[in-house]
Structures are given as C-alpha cells and as structure tokens.
C-alpha cells in the first residue's frame, strides 16, 4: 500500500510540477519579444526631436516611468542642437555614425565620432549635441520618462510648431 500510495503521490507531484512549469513557460513566452530587423516598426520621431527622425519602440514606453529601449533612425547630416536630458543617456550606435560634442555651444571640432558598434553614456544635465554621418540608427536604453531640454529654446522643435 505504502509503495502504491508513494508512487501515486510522486505521479501527482510530477503532474502538478509539469503543469506549473508549462504555465510559467507560457507566461514567459507571452512576455518575450524578438525583433529581427525586418519586423521593427518605424514611426515618425517624437515632436521633441528635429523633424525627419524615425523611431521604433522596442521595449517599454519611453514617455512613462520604467525601463525602455528605443531606436532612432537619422538621415545623413541630421543634427540635434545642444541639449540636456534629466536622466543618464545611454546610446548604442547600430549603423552609420554619430558625432557627439559636449558643451552648451556647438563645437564640431571637439566632437567624438561613434561609429557603428559604439556605446556611450553620459550623465543627466550634461550639455551635448549630436549629428549623423550617413543614414544612422542609434539605440537608446534607460529608465523613462525620456525627455530632452534644449539649451536654446529656439532650437526646440516643439516651440517652432507653436509659432506656426
Ligand atoms: Cu542627447
């Protein structure tokens, strides 16, 4: 009897365990996102960036609290005037090249070139500007909300829209 009871219990436990495991796996699968390049959905960039950028949100929501991953695609010569962010900025260059210059006035001579494959981060409040060489894709990751504040308010495309 003991043996039969014991093996019945073992079977039951095995069933319960495998059910639990498969529902955990289902939850994990439901939360998984894979983005081969052709499946990335590009949309118009945010109003806070100069026009002609495109943007793809890969994880989270950069307008909200919490972790996010987004990509920006810039055409050749795209330029983001001197600005700051309220949180650390973390940039991976996926393709093309990004030039980064620090300081509150644009100084192209002091810029660092970040070719495809580069990663960099800089602290909240650091004044910097950036521009692309060739069509360029960068990936930002960090903790939202993502915001950009231009050193010169006239550079802010959101102000340009208001005055139209
Ligand atoms: Cu920036």
pTM over cut 0.75: yes
Q: How far is the CA of 160 from the centre of ligand 1 (A)?
A: 19
- 44 and 85 assigned to the same domain: yes
C-alpha span between 144 and 65 (Å, rounded): 5
* Residue 58 CB contacts under 8 Å (≥ 6 apart), including other chains: 33, 35, 40, 69, 70, 71, 139
Check if the beta carbon of residue 61 is closer than 8 Å to that of residue 142.
no
Tell me the mean pLDDT in the region 41-67: 97
Whether residue 78 is predicted with pLDDT greater than 90 in this model: the reply is: yes
Q: How far is the CA of 164 from the centre of ligand 1 (A)?
A: 25
The residue written with tokens 């509150």 in the block is: 104
Tell me the mean pLDDT in the region 48-52: 97
From the list 129, 126, 135, the residue with the least C-alpha distance to 71 is: 135
In the structure, ligand 1 is a single-atom ion and the residues with CB under 5 Å from it are: 89
Tell me the mean pLDDT in the region 6-25: 75
Tell me the mean pLDDT in the region 146-161: 93
- 68 and 4 assigned to the same domain: no
Q: How far is the CA of 129 from the centre of ligand 1 (A)?
A: 7
Q: How far is the CA of 25 from the centre of ligand 1 (A)?
A: 38
Burial classification of residue 163, based on how many CB atoms lie within 10 Å of its CB (0-12 exposed, 13-18 middle, 19 or more buried) = exposed
Tell me the mean pLDDT in the region 25-52: 96
- 25 and 68 assigned to the same domain: no
Q: How far is the CA of 51 from the centre of ligand 1 (A)?
A: 15
- 17 and 45 assigned to the same domain: no
- 52 and 26 assigned to the same domain: no
C-alpha span between 69 and 13 (Å, rounded): 40
- 52 and 14 assigned to the same domain: no
pLDDT in tens, 94-150: 999 999 999 998 888 889 999 999 999 999 999 999 999 999 999 999 999 999 999
The pLDDT score that the predictor gives to residue 44 is 97
């Amino acid at each position: 009897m003991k043996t039969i009871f014991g093996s019945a219990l073992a079977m039951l436990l095995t069933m319960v365990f495998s059910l639990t495991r498969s529902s955990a796996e289902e939850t994990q699968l439901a939360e998984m996102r894979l983005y081969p390049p052709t499946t990335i959905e590009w949309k118009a960039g945010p109003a806070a960036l100069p026009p002609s950028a495109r943007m793809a949100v890969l994880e989270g929501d950069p307008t909200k609290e919490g972790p996010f991953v987004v990509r920006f695609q810039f055409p050749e010569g795209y330029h983001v005037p001197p600005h700051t962010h309220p949180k650390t900025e973390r940039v991976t260059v996926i393709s093309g090249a990004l030039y980064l210059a620090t300081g509150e006035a644009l100084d192209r001579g002091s810029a660092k070139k970040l070719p495809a494959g580069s990663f960099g981060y800089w602290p909240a409040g650091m004044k910097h500007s950036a521009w692309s060489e060739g069509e360029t894709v960068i990936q930002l990751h960090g903790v939202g909300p993502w915001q950009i504040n231009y050193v010169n308010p006239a550079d802010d495309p959101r102000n340009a829209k208001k005055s139209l």
